[in-house]
A and B are shown apart, each in its own frame.
Chain A
Amino acid sequence: KNQVEQSPQSLIILEGKNCTLQCNYTVSPFSNLRWYKQDTGRGPVSLTIMTFSENTKSNGRYTATLDADTKQSSLHITASQLSDSASYICVVSANYGGSQGNLIFGKGTKLSVKP
């Protein structure tokens, strides 16, 4: 069964600190992996998207890594800011049939950055 598991469920860190969020997946055949940021009361916004051949991608203070062999991804946030408080969603796309790309969504990690 295609699944995306994220950990931790929630995380509290102090402003200025770094943190790493984890995503493990059992999706096959794999097409790409995306990380989205969702602010409270808003729609998700894409941070990064990685294909099978990419093992790291950065977007400002956000760096995503992908290990396609172990089917793991991480999202590292550097020098956190209060505005980083949000849910971070890992989404994996399966490359088989269906025009919508068969996206499998994780439940998200809720990050709270405290002053």
Chain B
Amino acid sequence: NAGVTQTPKFRVLKTGQSMTLLCAQDMNHEYMYWYRQDPGMGLRLIHYSVGEGTTAKGEVPDGYNVSRLKKQNFLLGLESAAPSQTSVYFCASSPLRYNEQFFGPGTRLTVL
């Protein structure tokens, strides 16, 4: 089992550019999450999904969109990147609501 994988590992964007981060899990988990981690701050939830075809907003959803067309994949989109979106993005999945979350290795995004 690969667990949770994220693509790409690193990316540099210019302000206004768009991109999509891909998260894939092979554990048949229902729940998937996107977080961002900034220096001196705890992980903050951007969006989450409780199953295929469903998404919901987290704590900091502005500027991001998500889709979960397949159970194993959770995509995070930035339509018009801003320097404030420079961060490390983590995807996670869990089988049930209160279960342990399994995290991916992260994507380091820099917006110039």
**Residues of A participating in the B interface, judged by any CB pair closer than 8 Å:** 4, 31-32, 34, 41-46, 49, 89, 93, 95, 99-101, 103-108
Residues of B with C-beta under 8 A to A45: 103
A43 in contact with B97 (CB, 8 Å)? no
**Residues of B participating in the A interface, judged by any CB pair closer than 8 Å:** 4, 31, 33, 40-45, 48, 50, 56, 58, 90, 92, 97-98, 100-106
Tell me the bound Cα distance from A103 to B42 in angstroms.
Answer: 11
Residues of A with C-beta under 8 A to B106: 41-43
Residues of B with C-beta under 8 A to A103: 45, 101
Residues of B with C-beta under 8 A to A93: 98
B48 in contact with A49 (CB, 8 Å)? no
Can you list 5 residue pairs at the A/B interface with Cβ under 8 Å?
A: A41-B105, A44-B90, A99-B50, A100-B31, A100-B48
Among A95, A103, A108, which residue has the most Cβ atoms of chain B within 10 A? A103
Tell me the bound Cα distance from A105 to B102 in angstroms.
Answer: 15
Residues of A with C-beta under 8 A to B58: 100
User: Quick one: closest A residue to B43, CB to CB?
Assistant: A105
Tell me the bound Cα distance from A107 to B44 in angstroms.
Answer: 10
Q: Which 4 A-B pairs have the closest CB atoms?
A: A43-B103, A105-B42, A99-B50, A105-B43
B10 CB to closest chain A CB (Å) equals 11
Tell me the bound Cα distance from A4 to B50 in angstroms.
Answer: 25
